[in-house]
Amino acid sequence: MDSTYPPEAWKRLGKVLEARRGQLGYGFRQRGRFLEDRGGPPPAPSGKMVARLERGERAFYPPATVTRLEALYGLAPGSFEAVLAGGEPVPLSQDQAPAGPPPGPRSREEELIDHYLSRYPDDPAVRALAGQPGRPAALRLADVLTFAVARYGTDAALPAGEEGAADGTNGRLLPLERPR
């Protein structure tokens, strides 16, 4: 893509792409996670390249790079050119989006998150904590458990009589020990 567009057009493209990253569920400080999840096989765009692009600091990208970047942001080919010319990007439909890696087996943490979502289906706070994009399942589970115990009491750890605690507590919380 050539540099015939004014600097303002490149800054506009950067703002559009930053907003698009947000639409995809990646916040202001989540460029690294964004690249990890969506960057694809090498040569994937670098964090520095994406930061400079979103700030509108460069006025030239080779066509192959533009193609990779449009795919990274889930945009149809030609979207960058359209934005630079004053138009709007065209998001890929779910049917056209590049397929990510196949889902692997679900972890125990993900299964427990689903359990809490089914146990408290009407609690928007539980749903929000469980669905934080880009946050590892173990940390999301810790967030959900902490919130559930604070709101619903210690019985929220595991349902009474449900197997799952390896130490035989069957859902009872153990007292915390202070580190020495």
Give domain 7-84's CATH number out of 1.20.140.10, 2.60.40.10, 3.40.1010.10, 1.10.260.40: 1.10.260.40
**Per-residue model confidence as pLDDT tens digits over 97-132:** 444 444 556 677 878 878 777 877 777 777 788 877
pTM of the model: 0.52
Domain map (residue ranges) of the chain: 7-84, 108-156
CA distances from 136 to 25, 27, 37, 52, 171 (A): 14, 15, 12, 27, 23
Residues 6+ apart with CB under 8 A from 159: 119, 171
**Per-residue model confidence as pLDDT tens digits over 57-104:** 888 888 888 888 998 899 999 999 999 999 999 988 754 444 444 455
CA distances from 121 to 43, 75, 134, 154 (A): 42, 34, 22, 18
114: tokens are 């689903």
